């Protein structure tokens, strides 16, 4: 698996699929049982210190020094990364503002909300301006609003940083990533862009039709022509390998149903995941 | 310096956590206060000991009448034979029976002439009261050692008698309590690192280009600051309760300081080996509590069997306790405690290095 400079790659998989283990190996926190990886040319087995010089990590747990302030947390990591104290202070102050934590800069972080802690955790991964950033489940446990805000921020880093992100949220991987590696039982089951994976999984088309006046007779006629038909209230879901949009909607119209709207259903990442691993991704 | 940043962070984590700081200072402080209140002050408590002078020389007479008689916590009753003295001990009339054997004066004289002496005293004591017995044993031990050290009897006689008259129970117990306080630093030193491991903060730190020695130095340095504060508080408190530091206070401080480094390093070893606080805490207590007993922080080690004393001698704390007592009670100088200081230094270096090695091995499991 290669990750290009400036790319955001998401490792997608359920708990226990090996996402965090992969990140821990790449961050030189865990020794691989076999094999190796190179980060900007540095071997993770032989040049751990060089690797650590070019990476920033936001671990899965919101691991912060709870009795330090946000500024102190950032300054600590900056200094451990070899940034001179005056620069560490300036960068920390700037990053605190960028992450929207300016007003609480003097508070100990144990008083922060989950979302604030996550933002600070990501800031700590970015403090020394590393070329490569590892974000392990960056939005785990956040409410939808906080998650969306964090996505926006991570998306703003795309192209500027090379990011490896782990998640078990389909939507997150779909929204953020350039490429997705689907992990299953410690192995990469599939690798490609979100669209690639969806297209690869698509072995049939589905047309969704919202219509009035779908009588039992009309439904029988439709089911007689198309083998895979589902009805939910006024919505019909018709699937098939060779499904022509115009021909299908014309036929439904001919049964006396009044069509309000109709569209092709896009294949979802969830469908792709199910197809690739044979399992549903539950969190 | 990365380790300085780490040390500052650890110090902040400690002093901003009232519970941790309270435990660190309050627990040994409580012991000091209890013992200080119980044993300090101007207590009229004294123990009667029987003395049999089988030597009957001028020197033995001097030792009994000038040295032992002048010790405030001892009242001397003389007996003609050891049988009479032992009988009196059995009747609880006296707390211990001391026999000054024939040849005692000659041996003391040998020492004054810079020859190797073989000073033997026979002491029978009531082992049912260990605290009292250990006090008496320790006091007599100190008195004999001081007496034997005198090179020119007439000149230094007054000096060592003065030294001995200062001995009180708090003098004996306070150095032990201070060492006990420093022994408690084993669990507290391990606590911050293990907490960081358990919460995952350590993973974040380990992902930075920080070397293992910087981690150990960073975690140790913050505890060393706490140790210095703790030592100062304990010494002041001991003095408030009547502890009289006869020797060089800086030398006593050095002994305590080296002991603190040993405790912190042992704490680092435990922290490197433990994955969680649940693992580390019992391990620390299993180490520190038996060591407290073996090292004689509560009782004089003279009353312990030889093999227990030997076991205690392997570890730094028995040397620390005895050296601290020598300096505080007897005014021993550096040369007299140099062996203990060397042992403490070796222990500190070895334990610190072992902490680094183990941390390096475990940091990338």
Can you tell me which residue has the tokens 């005895």?
B322
Burial class for A93, CB neighbours closer than 10 Å (0-12, 13-18, 19+): middle
Per-residue pLDDT at A93: 92
- Smallest CA–CA separation between A123 and chain B, in Å? 12
B residues 203-222 closer than 8 Å to A (CB): 203-211
Asked if A39 has any chain B CB less than 8 Å from its own CB, the reply is no
For residues A222-250, average pLDDT: 88
Tell me the residue range of the domain where B283 lies. Answer: 2-39+170-363
* pLDDT bracket for residue B158 (50, 70, 90): very low
Task: With a cut of 90, say whether residue A132 has pLDDT above it.
Answer: yes
**Shortest CA distance from A71: residue in chain B:** B9
Q: Which residue has the higher pLDDT, B103 or B171?
A: B103
B180 with B328, same domain: the answer is yes
Provide the token pair at B61. 């007479």
Q: Would A43 be classed as within a structural domain?
A: yes
Provide the token pair at B184. 């408690």
Q: Helix, strand, or coil here: A184? A: strand
Buried (b) or exposed (e) across B199-227, using 16+ Cβ within 10 A? bbbbbbbbbbbbebbbbbbbbbbbbbebb
Q: Measured between beta carbons, which residues in chain B are less than 8 angstroms from residue A71?
A: none
Per-residue pLDDT at B157: 27
Q: Measured between beta carbons, which residues in chain B are less than 8 angstroms from residue A68?
A: 9, 12-13
Q: Measured between beta carbons, which residues in chain A are less than 8 angstroms from residue B13?
A: 65-68
CB contact under 8 A, A76 and B207: no
* pLDDT bracket for residue A270 (50, 70, 90): confident
Given B167, B201, B234, which residue is the final one in a domain? B167
Per-residue pLDDT at B166: 43
Task: With a cut of 60, say whether residue B185 has pLDDT above it.
Answer: yes
A66 with A97, same domain: the answer is yes
- Number of independent structural domains in chain A: 2
What CATH number did the domain enclosing A231 receive? 3.30.70.100
Q: Would A1 be classed as within a structural domain?
A: no
Task: With a cut of 70, say whether residue A49 has pLDDT above it.
Answer: yes
| Inter-axis angle of helices A70-80 and A85-98, nearest 10 | 130
Q: Which residue has the higher pLDDT, B44 or B191?
A: B191
Contact B238, B178 (CB under 8 A): yes
pLDDT > 70: percent of chain A: 98
Q: Looking at the predicted complex, does its ipTM rise above 0.85?
A: no
For residues A174-192, average pLDDT: 90
A41: left (phi over 0), alpha (psi -120 to 50) or beta: left
**Shortest CA distance from B5: residue in chain A:** A76
B residues 149-208 closer than 8 Å to A (CB): 199-201, 203-208
Least confident of A266-280, B55-69, B223-237, B322-336: A266-280
CB contact under 8 A, B203 and A31: no
Q: Which residue has the higher pLDDT, A127 or B118?
A: A127
- Number of independent structural domains in chain B: 2
For residues A264-274, average pLDDT: 81
Q: Would A271 be classed as within a structural domain?
A: no
A134 with A210, same domain: the answer is no
* pLDDT bracket for residue B127 (50, 70, 90): low
pLDDT in tens, A191-215: 999 888 888 777 778 899 999 888 8
| Inter-axis angle of helices B277-294 and B316-330, nearest 10 | 50
A122 with A223, same domain: the answer is no
Task: With a cut of 60, say whether residue B153 has pLDDT above it.
Answer: no
What CATH number did the domain enclosing A135 receive? 3.40.50.300
CB contact under 8 A, B208 and A81: yes
B129 with B275, same domain: the answer is no
Helix (H) or strand (E) holding A4: none
For residues B168-179, average pLDDT: 77
CB contact under 8 A, B208 and A52: yes
B322 with B206, same domain: the answer is yes
Least confident of B140-144, B217-221, B277-281: B140-144
Per-residue pLDDT at B208: 93
pTM greater than 0.80 (yes/no): no
Q: Which residue has the higher pLDDT, B134 or B254?
A: B254
A23 with A146, same domain: the answer is yes
Provide the token pair at A257. 């149903």
CB contact under 8 A, B208 and A80: yes
Per-residue pLDDT at B306: 77
Per-residue pLDDT at B274: 87
* pLDDT bracket for residue A8 (50, 70, 90): very high
Q: Which residue has the higher pLDDT, B27 or B109?
A: B109
Buried (b) or exposed (e) across B247-257, using 16+ Cβ within 10 A? bbeebbbbbbb
- Smallest CA–CA separation between B203 and chain A, in Å? 7
* pLDDT bracket for residue B22 (50, 70, 90): confident
* pLDDT bracket for residue B302 (50, 70, 90): low
CB contact under 8 A, B206 and A29: yes
Q: Would A69 be classed as within a structural domain?
A: yes
Tell me the residue range of the domain where A208 lies. Answer: 203-266
- Smallest CA–CA separation between A173 and chain B, in Å? 24
Task: With a cut of 50, say whether residue B55 has pLDDT above it.
Answer: yes
pLDDT > 70: percent of chain B: 85
Contact A263, A249 (CB under 8 A): no
For testing the chain A interface, which of B17, B195, B208, B212 should be mutated: the one with the most A CBs within 10 Å?
A: B208
For testing the chain A interface, which of B17, B198, B204 should be mutated: the one with the most A CBs within 10 Å?
A: B204
A24 with A164, same domain: the answer is yes
Q: Measured between beta carbons, which residues in chain A are less than 8 angstroms from residue B203?
A: 24, 27, 29, 57, 59, 63
| Of the partner residues A48, A72, A80, the one whose CB lies closest to the CB of residue B205 | A80
pLDDT in tens, B317-351: 999 998 988 888 767 888 888 999 999 999 999 99
Per-residue pLDDT at A79: 94
A191 with A222, same domain: the answer is no
pLDDT > 90: percent of chain B: 15
Per-residue pLDDT at B303: 67
| Residues A101, A153: Cα–Cα separation, whole Å | 14
Task: With a cut of 70, say whether residue B152 has pLDDT above it.
Answer: no
| Residues A52, B196: Cα–Cα separation, whole Å | 19
Q: Would A274 be classed as within a structural domain?
A: no
Contacts of B229 (CB under 8 A, 6+ apart): B25
Asked if B17 has any chain A CB less than 8 Å from its own CB, the reply is yes
For residues B129-136, average pLDDT: 64
Q: What mean pLDDT, rounded, does chain A reach?
A: 88
Residue B314: HSE in the Cβ half-sphere, 13 Å Cα cutoff: 8
Q: Would A240 be classed as within a structural domain?
A: yes
CB contact under 8 A, B5 and A108: no
Q: Measured between beta carbons, which residues in chain B are less than 8 angstroms from residue A76?
A: 5-6, 9
Edge-to-edge, what's the strand order for the sheet holding A235-240?
Answer: A228-232, A235-240, A205-212, A258-264
Task: With a cut of 80, say whether residue A280 has pLDDT above it.
Answer: no
Per-residue pLDDT at A35: 92
Per-residue pLDDT at B131: 59
**Shortest CA distance from B198: residue in chain A:** A63
For testing the chain B interface, which of A53, A65, A120, A129 should be mutated: the one with the most B CBs within 10 Å?
A: A65
**Most confidently modeled range among A22-26, B126-130, B150-154, B327-331:** A22-26
| Structure letter (DSSP) for residue A203 | S
| Structure letter (DSSP) for residue B67 | I
A185 with A130, same domain: the answer is yes
| Of the partner residues A24, A52, A108, the one whose CB lies closest to the CB of residue B209 | A52
Strand partners, A190: A182
| Number of other CB atoms surrounding residue A195 within 10 Å | 13
A239 with A191, same domain: the answer is no
Asked if B19 has any chain A CB less than 8 Å from its own CB, the reply is no
pLDDT in tens, B67-87: 888 887 788 889 988 888 877
Per-residue pLDDT at B91: 66
B157 with B174, same domain: the answer is no
* pLDDT bracket for residue A24 (50, 70, 90): very high
| Of the partner residues A57, A66, A81, the one whose CB lies closest to the CB of residue B209 | A81
What CATH number did the domain enclosing B163 receive? 3.40.1710.10
Per-residue pLDDT at A120: 92
Task: With a cut of 90, say whether residue A68 has pLDDT above it.
Answer: yes
* pLDDT bracket for residue B110 (50, 70, 90): confident
Q: Which residue has the higher pLDDT, B294 or B136?
A: B294
Q: What mean pLDDT, rounded, does chain B reach?
A: 80
A191 with A207, same domain: the answer is no
- Report phi then psi at B57, rounded to 5: -110, 170
CB contact under 8 A, B9 and A49: no
**Most confidently modeled range among B61-65, B95-99, B253-257, B304-308:** B253-257
Least confident of A7-11, A152-156, A244-248, B168-172: B168-172
In order of A56, A94, A97, B205, the CA distances from A105 in angstroms are: 21, 11, 9, 21
Least confident of A7-11, A32-36, B182-186, B295-299: B295-299
Closest-CA residue to A271 (of A210, A195, A207):
A195
- Smallest CA–CA separation between A146 and chain B, in Å? 23
Helix (H) or strand (E) holding B177: helix B169-183
pLDDT in tens, A71-125: 999 999 999 999 999 999 999 999 898 888 888 888 999 999 888 898 899 899 9
């Amino acid at each position: 698996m290669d990750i290009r400079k400036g790319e955001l790659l998401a490792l997608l998989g359920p708990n226990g699929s090996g996402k965090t283990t992969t990140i821990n190996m790449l961050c030189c926190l865990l020794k691989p049982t076999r094999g190796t990886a190179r980060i900007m040319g540095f071997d993770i087995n032989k040049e751990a210190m060089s690797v650590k010089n070019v990476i920033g990590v936001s671990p899965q747990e919101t691991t912060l020094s709870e009795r330090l302030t946000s500024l102190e947390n950032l300054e600590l990591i900056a200094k451990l990364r070899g940034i001179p104290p005056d620069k560490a202070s300036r960068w920390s102050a700037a990053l605190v503002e960028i992450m929207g934590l300016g007003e609480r800069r003097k508070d100990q972080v144990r008083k922060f909300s989950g979302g604030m802690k996550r933002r600070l955790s990501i800031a700590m991964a970015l403090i020394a301006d590393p070329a490569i950033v590892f974000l392990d489940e960056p939005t785990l446990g956040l409410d939808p609003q906080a998650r969306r805000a964090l996505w926006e921020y991570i998306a703003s880093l795309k192209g500027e940083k090379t990011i490896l992100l782990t998640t078990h949220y389909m939507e997150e991987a779909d929204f953020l990533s350039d490429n997705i590696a689907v992990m299953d039982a410690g192995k990469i089951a599939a690798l490609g862009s979100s669209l690639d994976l969806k297209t690869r999984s698509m072995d049939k088309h589905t047309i969704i039709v919202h219509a009035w006046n779908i009588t039992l007779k009309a439904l029988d006629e439709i089911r007689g022509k198309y083998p895979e038909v589902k009805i939910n209230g006024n919505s019909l879901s018709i699937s098939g390998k060779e499904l022509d949009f115009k021909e299908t909607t014309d036929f439904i119209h001919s049964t006396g149903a009044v069509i309000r709207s109709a569209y092709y259903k896009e294949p979802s990442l969830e469908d792709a995941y199910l197809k690739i691993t044979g399992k549903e991704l539950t969190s | 310096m990365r380790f300085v940043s780490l040390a500052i962070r650890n110090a902040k984590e400690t002093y901003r956590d009232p519970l941790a700081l309270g435990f660190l200072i309050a627990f040994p402080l409580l012991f000091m206060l209890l013992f200080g209140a119980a044993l300090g002050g101007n207590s009229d408590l004294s123990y009667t000991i029987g003395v049999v002078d089988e030597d009957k020389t001028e020197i033995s007479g001097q030792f009994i009448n000038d040295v032992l008689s002048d010790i405030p916590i001892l009242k001397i009753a003389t007996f003609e034979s050891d049988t009479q003295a032992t009988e009196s001990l059995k009747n609880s009339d006296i707390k211990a029976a001391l026999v000054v054997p024939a040849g005692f004066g000659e041996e003391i004289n040998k020492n004054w002439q810079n020859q190797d002496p073989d000073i033997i005293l026979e002491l029978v004591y009531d082992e049912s009261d260990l605290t009292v017995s250990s006090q008496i044993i320790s006091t007599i031990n100190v008195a004999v050692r001081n007496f034997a050290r005198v090179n020119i009897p007439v000149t230094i006689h007054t000096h060592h008698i003065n030294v001995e008259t200062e001995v009180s129970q708090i003098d004996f117990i306070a150095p032990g309590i201070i060492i006990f306080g420093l022994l408690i630093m084993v669990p507290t030193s391990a606590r911050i690192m293990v907490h960081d491991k358990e919460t995952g903060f350590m993973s974040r730190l380990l992902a930075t280009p920080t070397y293992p020695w910087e981690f150990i130095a960073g975690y140790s340095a913050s505890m060393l600051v706490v140790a210095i504060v703790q030592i100062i508080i304990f010494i002041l408190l001991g003095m408030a309760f009547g502890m009289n530091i006869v020797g060089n206070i800086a030398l006593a401080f050095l002994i305590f300081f080296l002991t603190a480094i040993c405790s912190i390093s042992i704490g680092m070893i435990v922290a490197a080996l433990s994955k969680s606080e649940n693992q580390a805490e019992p391990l620390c207590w299993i180490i520190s509590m038996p060591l407290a007993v073996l090292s004689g922080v509560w009782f004089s080690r003279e009353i312990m069997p030889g093999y227990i004393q030997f076991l205690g001698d392997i570890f730094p704390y028995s040397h620390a306790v005895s050296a601290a007592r020598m300096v505080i009670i007897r005014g021993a100088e550096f040369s007299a405690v140099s062996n203990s200081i060397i042992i403490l230094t070796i222990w500190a270096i070895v334990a610190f290095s072992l902490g680094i090695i183990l941390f390096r091995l475990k940091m990338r499991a």
